[in-house]
């Protein structure tokens, strides 16, 4: 009987499933990563000088979130994007909100830290997508 228990257990846990790997999702994340890196580098200047780029990046990130949300069995990636774009948190959405509200540029030391967190977070999104079968 014990021999069947192991097989049964495997089938039981197999109920958990995750969407297959999607090249579009990887492209969405890599595009946002490249654009985020370029824009954060420019955040030593006031946000007014980059308002168009800020809006564009926000739109790109929101589109990536909506794309993730529309896919079946994709709750984990959707949650990652939700954290990334949330203005009340501390990654891309939070940084753009902070910059616009400060109305002036940041120093390089702070931006290096922001870049580490935002790009590291986007790397996690890409890592999860690439891990999928």
* Tokens linked to 126: 């890409």
| Alpha carbon 111 to chain centroid, angstroms | 18
For other proteins, which stretch binds (CB under 8 A), given 27-35, 41-49, 52-60, 120-128?
Answer: 120-128
Q: Provide the mask over 70-99, with x wherever binding to other proteins is found by CB under 8 A and - wherever it is not.
A: ------xx-xx--xx----xxx--xx--x-
* Tokens linked to 43: 């955040």
Three-state DSSP state, 112: helix
The torsion angles phi and psi of 34, rounded to 5 degrees, stand at: -65, -45
State the residues that interact with other proteins by CB under 8 A.
Answer: 3-4, 6-7, 10-11, 13-14, 16-18, 76-77, 79-80, 83-84, 89-91, 94-95, 98, 106-107, 109-110, 113-114, 116-118, 120-121, 124-125, 127-128, 131-133
């Amino acid at each position: 009987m014990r021999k069947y228990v192991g097989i049964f257990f495997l089938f039981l846990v197999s109920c958990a499933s995750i969407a297959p790997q999607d090249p579009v999702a990887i492209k969405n994340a890599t595009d946002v990563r490249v654009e985020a890196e370029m824009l954060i580098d420019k955040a030593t200047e006031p946000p007014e000088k980059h308002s168009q780029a800020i809006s564009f990046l926000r739109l790109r990130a929101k589109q990536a979130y909506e794309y993730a949300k529309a896919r079946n069995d994709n709750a984990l990636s959707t949650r990652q994007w939700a954290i990334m774009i949330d203005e009340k948190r501390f990654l891309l959405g939070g940084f753009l909100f902070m910059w616009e509200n400060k109305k002036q540029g940041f120093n390089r030391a702070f931006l290096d830290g922001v870049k580490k967190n935002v790009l590291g977070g986007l790397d996690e999104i890409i890592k999860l997508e690439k891990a999928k079968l």
